[in-house]
Structure 1
Amino acid sequence: MKVTRRKFIRTGLLVTLGAVLVDMFWFEKFFIETNEFYIGKATKETTNIKVVQISDLHLQSINSQLSRLASKLNKLKPELILITGDAIDKAQNVSLLNDFLKLIDKQIKKVAILGNWEYWGNIDLNELNKVYLENNCTLLVNQTTQYLFGDTSISITGVDDFVGGNANYNAAIKDYKKSDYHIVLNHCPQYNDYISTQIDTHVDFILSGHTHGGQINLLGFAPFLPPGSGKYVKGWYTQNNSKFYVSKGIGTSMLPARFGARAEIAIFNLS
């Protein structure tokens, strides 16, 4: 059968469109990439403390993607899991967060901060805090806590959300104690511009989320970024000699699709 040029082009366009839609609504959402980094003197050969960042879960259900993620975390056995906001965006999903956290080994220490959707979703923060506590997770709202792993001390500062809450970095570091490592958790990366100007307390790096990597990212251009993103989209940035990492996160917001912004977790190795 002879195929005309017009029919060939039309078929090609339909196949391409189908591939793009599969990528947007399935592949990039449900297959989580792992980005791993080595900080300071850490290498693949050294004995490291593993810190994992999870951001923007926007939990709607416990699907196979999240079950696999929990299983991966249990095998990885990091010293710390850091949840950088927007774990849920509806009040009725607090119990869903509890179900997800229970899939993760309770012995793994966890720290969480609030994102804008924990406020916009009218979530009972006392109930949320209770769920976190039951799962060996400390919720930090403009606070700092310190952990000791062997001879290595790590301070984690958690800043309240810049858009929905009351971000106050100066209040958050009030109880900071000098540590081998200091990691700041701040959901909206725009506020990192302010944090980077505060040089009184050493910060190794800042972890943010919020942007979803643009969620729809066209060859590096993200046409839609939520308020509080500033000029940041994904990956590493340096501002005023401060380093910070913006996670693409796991879930989606508004539109249940991703393109050019695959879901991710990030592993930071400290030595």
Structure 2
Amino acid sequence: MKKYIRILKRDSLLLAAIIATFFTYSFIIEPRWVKVNQYELKIDNLPPQFRDFRIVLFGDIHRSKIVSAGYISKCISKVNKLNPDIVLNTGDYITGKQGYIFDIVEMLKTIKPEYGVYSVLGNHDGEIVAKGLKQAGIRVLRNESVTIEKDGGILRLIGLDDSLSGYENIVKELKDAKKTEVRLLMMHNPDLFKILKLYEYRIDLIAAGHTHGGQVVIPFIGPPLVPSIYGKKYASGFIREKKGLMYVTRGIGTYLLPVRFFCRPEITLFVLSDEKDSGLKDD
């Protein structure tokens, strides 16, 4: 009986240690352990002016009680260290109180790539957030496009609003795509990839966020919960479908619970190339 009690105590202590380790890692370590992914992105007929052009993508900051300004500042420092030519953000800057945006305006101002910072709004972002982004010098695209010229070469950047209407002019523009320009599209919710059949148009890269990769990923199974009508199909990373190539960032913040498991926050660098893909380089 005493031997049984000793074994029970030992097993209980082991189980407690495993649970404590899991919670420490998932709630304290991984949510702040940012991964910098780097890809060389091959584009057919890439204008030579945009060879080695550096695009940094991040999103889903979710400034809130559980995502501190200090952590966001460290993430922005990582963005700047990548020496981007342009920076794209897929929205969701805050959770809850819209005024949180003003906690990070000064930090966002420090991102100063030569060709600007562009963003779309997420489902958590309202007009107050849009006002804060304007103060930070960030151009918000709401069902519109901008032309970026570099030594005569053209890059067209399209931004979709986080709604289910107002896309008519954008769809027309997508149909009239020119082969001589780089075409990028950014949006918050990756479900629009399917809803608007964006894979039918000539777009070199579509960038999205929103899902956080599910935040919790079960090995060999995937994320059990993804905020998408298509389940885990568009959870994170590269998605190829017909003509389309979409990249869904896991974002840098968390929502509801400050937890991540096998789903590290990320910042992504794309380097444009007319050569063969070099693949992923981890930090």
User: TM-score surpassing 0.5?
Assistant: yes
Deviation at 1:28, TM superposition (A): 1.5
- In structure 2, relative to structure 1, the CA distance for the partners of 1:204 and 1:195 (3 Å cut) is farther
Given that 1:236 and 1:243 are in contact with CA atoms closer than 8 Å, whether structure 2 keeps it comes out as yes
In the alignment, structure 1 segments of 5+ residues that lack a partner are none
**Unaligned runs of at least 5 residues, structure 2:** 45-49, 274-283
Partner in structure 2 of residue 191 of structure 1? 192
Q: Which amino acid aligns with 2:215?
A: Q
What's the TM-score, normalizing by structure 1? 0.84
Secondary structure of the residue aligned to 1:16 is helix
Equivalent runs, 1:119-268 vs 2, <5 Å: 123=126, 125=127, 127-161=128-162, 165-174=163-172, 178=178, 180-196=181-197, 199=200, 201-219=201-219, 220-228=221-229, 230=231, 231-268=233-270
Equivalent pair of 2:147/2:154 in contact (CA under 8 Å): yes
Deviation of 1:157 (Å): 0.8
**How far, CA to CA, are the matches of 1:184 and 1:197 in structure 2?**
9
Query: Equivalent residue for 2:63?
Result: 59
Residue in 1 aligned with 2:6? 4
Shift in CA distance, 251/167, structure 1 to aligned 2, threshold 3 Å: farther
How far, CA to CA, are the matches of 1:64 and 1:96 in structure 2?
Answer: 10
Q: Aligned partner of 2:101: which letter?
A: V
CA distance in 2, matches of 1:8, 1:47: 60
Note if contact 1:155-1:181 (Cα within 8 Å) is conserved in structure 2: yes
Matched residue of 1:154: which SS? strand
Aligned residues: 257
Ranked by relative contact order (alpha carbons within 8 Å, sequence separation 6 or more), the top structure is: 2
Deviation at 1:150, TM superposition (A): 3.6
Contact 2:199 2:245 in 1 (8 A): no
Distance 1:235 1:198 in 2: 16
Deviation at 1:225, TM superposition (A): 1.7
CA shift, 1:9, in A, is 2.2
Is the contact made by 2:58 and 2:89 (CA closer than 8 Å) also made in structure 1? Answer: yes
Pairwise CA RMSD of aligned residues?
Answer: 2.7
Identify the range of structure 1 (84-93 vs 28-37) with the bigger mean alpha-carbon deviation: 84-93
| Corresponding position of 1:38 | 40
Larger Rg: 2
Q: CA deviation at 1:107?
A: 5.3
**Percent identity for Structure 1 against Structure 2:** 27
In 2, distance between residues paired with 1:10 and 1:198?
A: 53
Compared CA separation, residues 222 and 100, structure 1 to 2 (3 A) = same
Conservation of the 8 A alpha-carbon contact between 1:85 and 1:114:
yes
For residues 95-141 of structure 1, give each alpha carbon's deviation from its aligned partner in whole angstroms, at most 9, with x where no partner exists: 124133134337561110011111xxxx3x2x433332333321011
1:108 and 1:154, CA in 2 relative to 1: closer, same or farther beyond 3 A?
closer
User: How much does 1:173 deviate?
Assistant: 5.0
